[in-house]
Structure formats: C-alpha cells, structure tokens
Amino acid sequence: MRYPWLLAAAWLSLILATLLQIAVPRLLGTAIDDVLARADTSRLWWLAGAIVLVTALRGVFSYGNQYLAEAVSQRVAYDIRNAFYDKLQRLSFAFHDREHTGNLMSKATVDVEQLRFFINMGMVRSGQMLLLVAGVSVVLLWLDWRLALAALAFVPLVAYRAIAVSRRLRGIWAAVQADTGRMTTVLQENLAGMRVVKAFGADDHEQAKFEAQAAKVMDSSYTAARTQAQNGALMQVFFWAATGLLLWLGGRAVVDGRITLGELAQFILYTSLLVQPIRMMGFLVNTFARAHAAGQRLFEVLDAESPVRDAPEAAPLSNVRGEVAFEQVSFAYRAPGAKASENAHGPSGDAANGAAIGAAGFRPALRDASLRVAPGQRVALLGAPGSGKTTMVNLLARFYDVTSGRVTIDGIDVRDATVASVRRSVGIVQQDVYLFSASVRENIAYGREDAALDDVIAAAKTAQLHDEIMALPQGYDTVVGERGMTLSGGQRQRLSIARTILLDPPILVLDDSTSSVDAATEARIRQAMENVMRGRTTFVIAHRLSSVQGADTVAVLERGRIAEVGAARDLLARGGIYKHIAELQGAPTAAPGPSRAGGAG
C-alpha cells in the first residue's frame, strides 16, 4: 500500500466511530430498563443527551473515516491513471497494433473507477462492517450467550453466500465487460469508417451488427442484475430471520424470567445495527467482483513489458553522423489473434528462423536483410506492399526490435542505445498522419515544444505549407481536429513533413510522403525535400520509380528479402527485378534521371 499513514488514520477513525455506534443501543436499552424494570424516569434526559452527544462525536470520526477513505482511493486512482498513461505511450507499436483505442479507453475510465470504488468501499468500509459485526457479537455474547448464538447464526451463512456469489459475479462481470468492449469496437469502427458505410449503403448491415452486440450486452447485464437482486434479497431475509428468531427465543427467555424485556429490546436493537453491514455486504460482493475483473484488465496493460526498452547499460547516441547498417536482420510481426500479452513475446525467442512464425501466423516481414548506408547517402527502398520496406524503418527507429541480426547507427547497435536517442536521430514522415487537437503551430512543434514561431514558420515554408496555413481562419493558431478533418490529406502530410523538419534529425525517413498530393504540389514538395535531405542520411520508402530518382542506392525488397541493391543505373543494367519494375512503369530504360553529384561520398 502506498499511503500507509492515510490508511492508518482512516482505520483509526473507523474504529472509534464504530465503538461509539455500538454504545447507542446500550443507552436505549438502559432507558427502557429504567422505565420498565426500575420505574425510574429521572435519567431519561441524561440518556437522551448522551445519545445525541455520542452520535455527534461519532460523526466527527465517521467524517474523518469517509474523507480519508476517499483520499486513499483517489490517490490510488491518480497513481494508476498516471501509470496507465505512461505505460501506454511507452509500449511498443506491437502492443498498439493489437489493442483497440476504445478498449483501452474503457480500461482507463470504467475499470479505474471500479478499482477506485473498491478501494474505498472494500479496503476501508469493509473494515467497518467486520468491526461492527465483531463489536455487536461481543456485546450480545456478554448480554446472553445463548440468545447471542441464535441472533448471530446467520453471520456465517451470509459470509458463505457472499463468497459464493462473489465468485459467480466475477465471471458475469467479466462477460459484461467483454461484451461491452465488442459493442464499443463496432461503434467506433462504424463512426470512423462512416464514409465506407455510407458509400455502400450498409446502414442495415451495420445496424444488425451493432444490435447483435448490444443484445449481448443487454443479456449479460441482466444476468448480473438478476444475480445481484437475488443475493441482496436473500441477505436481507437472513437478517430479518435473525430478528424473528430473537423475538421467538428471547420472548421465551423473558417469559421464563431469564432476561428482562429491556434486555430483549437491547438485543433487537443491537441486531438492527447489523442491517447496514449486511446490506453493504451484498453491495461489496458486487464491487469486489467488478473490481477483480477490472483489475485484471488494467494489470494486463500495466504489467505488459515493452520488448523495446533501454538496456541496463544503454548510452544515448550523440553526434550522429548517420551511418546506418542492417546486418542480417530478421523480423516477424506477431500473428493476429495471438495471445494479447506483450510479455508473452511474439517476434523473439523461437523466431530465429522466421519460418517458425510463418507457421503460426503471418509470414516473417523481414528475412536476413543486410544493407549498409554511408552518412548523407540517400537510399530508396522499393518493393511490393508487405515486402518489408516499412518494417525496415520501424526497426531502425526501434518501434520494434529485431528478431535476429542487428541494426546499427554509427556502428552502435540500436539496442545498446537509449530508445529516446535513437528516435531523436531518426525523423519519420509517417504514412498515417495523426494530428492532435491543438493549433497548427503546436502540431508542427509537437516534437519540440520550445520551438520559436519563426522556426515553425520556416519549417512550414520548407514543407510548402506556409501559404495554406496563412489562409486558415486563425493562421498558425487554427485548431485542427482529432483526425485532421479540417485539413486535406495533402496538407496533413506536409504538416507531418514540417514536424520532422523542425526536429532536424540526422537520419530521415520519408514513407510515401508524396502520395496524396497532385502533381503540381508534388513537384513543389519534391524541391523542398531536396533541400531538407541534403546532408542527412535518408530512406525513401518508394512506391514509384519517380521516388527513386536522386537516390544513391536502391534496395529492392521482395517478400521480406533484399533482392537487389545498387545504384539505379547498375540495377537497370543487371536486368533483374528493378529493370522489370522499371519496364512495367514504362520508365525510360536510359539513365533514371539526374543523380545527385557527389552524393555517394
């Protein structure tokens, strides 16, 4: 427990409050005995005053207890949220490939809240329950042990039920959460893919899909509600049955003259103190069951170890010249539907021979790839979708770690360098551009918060975006939406380019960066990028021969292997795959455009 003092204080005030609570029926019973047995009303006012006073005092402690319990639970929730947030942003891409955003959000909201609630109710308030039951039991046994045993007979029954039901509810709540998660996924995809839905007129199809999931949620939620209702009703009946038993047996005792009527009254009133803990028991059982399911879901994430992390003696990369080497690199993504725990390790271990993974799921993304790039050189990676181009740069920036072989920057294995320094050295213009709900300026300066406006503008100018930003209603202060709805694809892409320019990385990766712009804009970007690429080691993930132009080296990938490497001119002459592609694209079989002078160094 991380807050021992708070918790101790909460417990202390709880004990005091409970003791004072137990005093009240004693005072009431005394009053009844005074009137009935001793025919004495002189102390009635005193007893009445004592009841109020004791309760007031108890109020102080129960206030303290409630507040402190909440404080503990809120702090724990605070810690969990921070930990969750940080964990998520540090888990590797492999994790995020698998986990739906909606699912993670539901963990962060609903599950954290369940857990918090349980800490409040379970860890602290349940103490009150136990204490009250114990205190009342002691007093009752002291008053008359035979009657006490009768009155308390239901306690073990309640406890047994509670455990049994808790176990059942755990399963039920897990089902509710799983069903809700699936319903959320349908909804989220429907909204995100609304264009497709509309374009195909698939409203009915989607509606049926959603209703099927919603019906499952309805059914499992109902099962949970019914189980709770049954349990709650039973608990209450147990309690009142005890009162009835007390009345029956106690009445006989009074008639026999073993106890007084006042004592019987005390017995009944004491037992009535237990109504609250019993009611809470039913509630607590449910809370516990939900928290258990929630906790499991949360810790699944919190305990996930990112396979990409700093080695114990990792040093930051500094003064990177930009020499990059892939040495017999192999890599496989996890098979879809594989166990969703990141520490269960997909790509590593048994995967030295990628074929093993191919049998279990998707074929390895990269096999035995070797490539050497001198500082400042420009490399074009060319190949079919899925041939391993993106994988190569993902490995370079350590979004994943290699399965075997190694990737080095300036001769240093990237796994021996700190993750942060590797990513600082590698700037990536990503295929899927994510814009945050913030101003254009903040989005451009995303990797460098302290960047001056002038620098941001300069980057935007280089990315050929400045004029278009100025045309926006609030210029650089215009807020762009969650999925960049207000910017066109081309604009988003150039914003992403500007982002990377501002970071000024020694190694640059352009992934398909000119795909969604028309020819005129493309020409402008191309010119701008020429400037940016100067002096940096650059990987261009090329889908077209035109992107290959100006590259010092072309690496042609095929099914995860580097099939051909060399200058475009040489590859053409060799007459292999590259030449084939070139012919397909109808490129001139002569020299492929002007090669940059002196680039090869």
Partner 1 sequence: MMHGMGGMGFGGMGGAWGRRDNVNIDDEQGKLFDCEVVWRLLGYMAPYRRQVALAVLGVLVYTATTVAVPLLVQRGIDGYIAQGDLEGLNLLALAFAVVLAAQYAVNYGHQAVLGRVTQSVLFDLRRDLFAHLQRLPMSFHNRHKVGSVMSRVQNDVSTLQEFLNIMVVSLGDLISLAGIIVAMIVLDLRMSTAVVALLPLLVLVIAVWQRFARKAFLNVRTAIARVNGSLQENIAGVRVVQSMNRQDANLSKFNELNSANLNANLRAMSLSAVLMPAVELFTAAALAGAVVIGGSLVFGGTIEAGVLVAFALYIQRFFDPIRNLTMQFTQLQRAMTSGARIFELLDVEPDLRDAPDAKPLPPIRGEVRFEHVSFGYTKDKPVLEDVNLTVHPGQTVALVGPTGAGKTTLVALLARFHDVTGGRILIDGHDLREVPRASLARQMGTVLQEPFLFTGTIRENIRYSRADATRGRIEEAARAVGVHDYIMSLPDGYDTVLEERGGNLSVGQRQLISFARALVADPRILVLDEATASVDTETEQTIQRALKTLLAGRTAVVIAHRLSTVQHADQIAVIEQGRVAEVGTHRELLERGGLYAKHHALSRGAATPEAAG
Residues 362-421 that bind partner 1 (CB under 8 A): 362-363, 382-387, 390, 397, 399, 420
- Restricted to residues 191-230, the positions that interact with partner 1 (CB under 8 A) are 191-207, 210-211, 214-215, 217-219, 221-222, 225-226, 228-230
* DSSP 8-state assignment for residue 556: E
Asked if 232 interacts with partner 1 (CB under 8 A), we say yes
Binders in 241-280 for partner 1, by CB under 8 A: 241, 243-244, 247-248, 250-252, 254-255, 261-262, 264-265, 268-269, 272, 275, 279-280
Q: Which of 519, 76, 483, 124 is nearest to 302 (CA)?
A: 76
Give the whole-angstrom CA distance, residue 334 versus residue 358.
Answer: 10
**What is the three-class DSSP state of 439?**
strand
If residue 521 lies in a helix (H) or strand (E), which one and from where to where?
A: helix 519-533
Bridge partners, residue 555, by sequence: 381, 565
Amino acid, res. 49: G
Tokens 């993670």 sit on residue? 104
Q: Which residue has the tokens 């960049």?
A: 484
Query: Min. distance of Cβ 600 from partner 1 in angstroms?
Result: 21
Q: Distance between CA 216 and CA 318 in Å, rounded?
A: 55
Residues in contact with 504: Cβ distance below 8 Å, sequence separation at least 6, in sequence order? 427
- Is residue 429 within 8 A of residue 510, CB to CB? The reply is yes
**CB nearer to partner 1: pick between 141 and 438:** 438
Q: Least distance (Å) from partner 1 to the CB of residue 13?
A: 11
Nearer to partner 1, 19 or 374 (CB): 19
CB of 179 to partner 1, least distance (A): 12
- Selected from 128, 184, 330, 404, the binder of partner 1 by CB under 8 A is 184
Nearer to partner 1, 374 or 472 (CB): 472
Q: Which of 9, 469, 540, 545 binds partner 1 (CB under 8 A)?
A: 545
CA distance 381 to 541: 5
Q: What is the DSSP letter of 477?
A: G
Task: Evaluate whether 526 touches 354 at the Cβ level (below 8 Å).
Answer: no
Among 167, 588, 591, 600, binds partner 1 (CB under 8 A): 588
Stretch near partner 1 under the rule CB under 8 A, chosen from 154-162, 183-191, 292-300, 343-351? 183-191
234 in contact with partner 1 (CB under 8 A): yes
* Dihedral pair phi/psi, residue 407, rounded to 5°: -115, 130
Q: How far is CA 33 from CA 38, 46, 136, 263, 266, in A?
A: 7, 14, 19, 7, 9
Closest among 267, 232, 260, 254 to 151, alpha carbons compared: 267
Nearer to partner 1, 234 or 374 (CB): 234
* Alpha carbon 220 to its chain's center: 24
Three-state DSSP class for residue 411: coil
115, 122 Cβ separation under 8 angstroms: no
Question: Strands (DSSP E) along 304-396, which ranges?
Answer: 324-331, 366-373, 378-383
117: contact with partner 1 by CB under 8 A? yes
Torsion sign (Cα): 509, 515, 516, 517: positive
Q: Return the residue of 15, 187, 412, 563 that touches partner 1, per CB under 8 A.
A: 187
> Applying CB under 8 A, which part among 142-150, 181-189, 317-325, 345-353 lies near partner 1?
181-189
Burial of 594 (0-12, 13-18, 19+ CB in 10 A): exposed
Q: Which is nearer to partner 1, 60 or 163 (CB)?
A: 60
The residues with which 382 forms a beta bridge, in sequence order, are 542, 556
Q: Which stretch binds partner 1 (CB under 8 A): 96-104, 143-151, 319-327, 406-414?
A: 96-104
100 forms part of the interface with partner 1 (CB under 8 A):
yes
Evaluate whether 592 touches 569 at the Cβ level (below 8 Å).
yes
Q: How far is the CB of 323 from partner 1 (least distance, A)?
A: 21
Between residues 221 and 353, which has the closer beta carbon with respect to partner 1? 221
- Of the residues 423, 460, 571, 572, which one makes contact with partner 1 according to CB under 8 A: 423
CB nearer to partner 1: give 371 or 582. 582
How far apart are CB 453 and partner 1 at their closest, in Å?
18
CB of 195 to partner 1, least distance (A): 6
Backbone angles phi, psi at 48, to 5 degrees: -60, -45
Task: Specify the residue, 116 or 466, whose C-beta has the smaller distance to partner 1.
Answer: 116
Under rule CB under 8 A, which residues in 138-167 are in contact with partner 1? Answer: none
**361 part of the interface to partner 1, by CB under 8 A:** yes
Question: What's the rounded Cα separation, in Å, for the pair 404 and 420?
Answer: 22
Q: Locate 84 and state its tokens.
A: 């969750």
- Residue whose CB is less far from partner 1, 328 or 437: 437
For partner 1, the closer of residues 93 and 178 by Cβ is: 93
Q: Which of residues 492-531 bind partner 1 (CB under 8 A)?
A: 499, 503, 512, 514-523, 526
Binder among 145, 160, 299, 436 for partner 1 (CB under 8 A)? 436
Name residues contacting partner 1, limited to 36-95 (CB under 8 A). Answer: 36, 39, 41, 44-45, 47-49, 51-52, 54-56, 58-60, 62-63, 66-67, 70-71, 74-75, 77-78, 81-82, 84-86, 88-90, 93
Site for partner 1 contains 544 (CB under 8 A): yes
Give the C-alpha separation, 232 to 198, whole Å.
47
Would you count residue 98 as binding partner 1 (CB under 8 A)?
yes
Burial class of residue 334 (count of CB atoms within 10 Å of its CB; 0-12, 13-18, 19+) = buried
Q: Within 10 A of 54 (CB to CB), how many other CB atoms are there?
A: 18
3 binds partner 1 (CB under 8 A): no
> Rounded to whole angstroms, how far apart are CA atoms 597 and 601?
9
Contact between 543 and partner 1 (CB under 8 A)? yes
236/374 with CB nearer partner 1: 236
Complex with partner 1: residue 137 or 546, whichever CB lies closer: 546
CB closer to partner 1, 55 vs 341: 55
